[in-house]
Amino acid sequence: MTDTQNLTLVQAVRDGLHTELREDDDVVVMGQDVGKNGGVFRATEGLFDEFGGDRVIDTPLAESGIIGTAVGMAAMGMRPVPEIQFSGFMYPGFDQVVSHMARFRTRSRGRFTLPMTLRAPYGGGIRAPEHHSESKEAFYAHEAGLKVVIPSTPYEAKGLLAASIRDPDPVVFLEPKLIYRAFREEVPDEPYTVPIGEAATRREGDDVAVFTYGAMTRPTLEAAETLGEEGIECEVVDLRTVSPLDREAIVEAFEKTGRAVVVHEAPKTGGLGGEITAILQEEALLHQEAPIGRVAGFDVPYPLYALEDYYLPSAARIEEGILEAVEF
């Protein structure tokens, strides 16, 4: 029987960083306010005091500098874990992500690899100012050479983060900040990993497969429970990794039901919903009984908070989307 703690998702991230810093001297955490301040969401609380300023590093305010120097460290075999304070502030460093972080292995024919994990809180629903609420995971999923991981539970956040830090390739680790403190779960003290690239079934059902991830797992499960009371049984699949997608799990859930809906808070156009739909067309067309639905953010800039509850897929919108697929 291993010791556990009852942790929120953000505490589990912190615990994961703590464990990996302890296990491997090559791991460093770096970014704005991650040191003395303990992170603006407390994701690095106490780490500076325990591991010191050479391993938990407060940097100047410069995203390209943070990511670019992490690339250099990783090329030398370290395992840096740079944090961008909000994913909406990634873009000054985006050049480093797509031009270098994603390509060093390919460019050097494997001589240089980048075992780095780029963390950023993402997603909406916290009544935040502009640029603090976007979901742009598709940008990173579109970039070959990166893995893109999105946890939705405390236990898996720690295990997926450990897997990302230990992975030989660069990982973009997006944390759904809406559920940073939404609920607690028992999280083992000891190190463990949850595999990258594997989806998880959150609810079994025979009528329709619903694919989602991140903070949208909760309203999706809520919608599934409501529909369950009406006799419509949803299979809810949490992707957990959006690149590479777990094609096998996606196809399997679809073949079981013949109907599918994808739920994400990212804008509909160019989002993961399109990619999942295409996979099902490619691999399971003959099982399809209805158009594949997408319940997503709208194709507009993410609004300030007076209207954000209308922007984000609510349980009501998700129910509607599922009903359309089921009643077709």
Partner 1 sequence: MTVFDRAYDDTVRVLDEDGEVVGDVPDLGDDSLVEMYRHMRLARHFDGRAVSLQRQGRMGTYPPLSGQEGAQIGSAYALDDDDWMVPSYREHGAALVHGLPLKQTLLYWMGHEDGNNAPPDVNVFPVAVPIASQVPHATGAAWASKLRGEDDAFICYFGDGATSEGDFHEGVNFAGVFDTPTVFFCNNNQWAISVPRERQTRSATLAQKAEAYGIDGVQVDGMDPLAVYSVTKAALEKARDPDSDRPRPTLIEAVQYRFGAHTTADDPTVYRDDDEVERWKRKDPIDRLESYLRDEGVLDDERVAEIESSVEARVADAIDEAESMARPDLRELFEHAYAELPPELERQYEALAALRDDRGDAAFLED
Residues lying near partner 1 in the complex (CB under 8 A) are found at 32-33, 35-38, 40, 58-65, 88-89, 91-92, 125, 127-132, 268-269, 298-301, 303-311, 314-317, 320
Pick between residue 155 and residue 302 the one whose CB is nearest to partner 1. 302
Q: Residue 303: phi, psi to the nearest 5? A: -80, 160
Report the 10 Å Cβ neighbour count for 305: 17
CB of 36 to partner 1, least distance (A): 5
Nearest alpha carbon to residue 262 among 311, 324, 195? 324
CA–CA gap between residue 264 and residue 272 (Å, rounded): 8
CB of 298 to partner 1, least distance (A): 5
CB of 216 to partner 1, least distance (A): 14
- Sheet of 147-149: strands edge to edge? 56-58, 27-31, 79-83, 117-122, 171-176, 147-149, 241-243
Is-contact 87 112, C-beta < 8 A?
no
Nearest alpha carbon to residue 308 among 121, 179, 134, 125? 125
CB of 201 to partner 1, least distance (A): 27
CB of 188 to partner 1, least distance (A): 29
Is-contact 215 179, C-beta < 8 A?
yes
Alpha helices in the chain (DSSP H): 9-23, 47-51, 63-75, 94-95, 104-107, 137-141, 154-166, 217-229, 247-257, 272-284, 308-311, 315-327
Q: Residue 203: phi, psi to the nearest 5? A: -155, 135
Is-contact 158 190, C-beta < 8 A?
no
Pick between residue 59 and residue 257 the one whose CB is nearest to partner 1. 59
CB of 240 to partner 1, least distance (A): 25
Residues with a known catalytic role: 132
Burial of 285 (0-12, 13-18, 19+ CB in 10 A): exposed
Pick between residue 15 and residue 63 the one whose CB is nearest to partner 1. 63
User: Parallel, antiparallel, or unpaired: how do β-strands 241-243 and 260-267 relate?
Assistant: unpaired
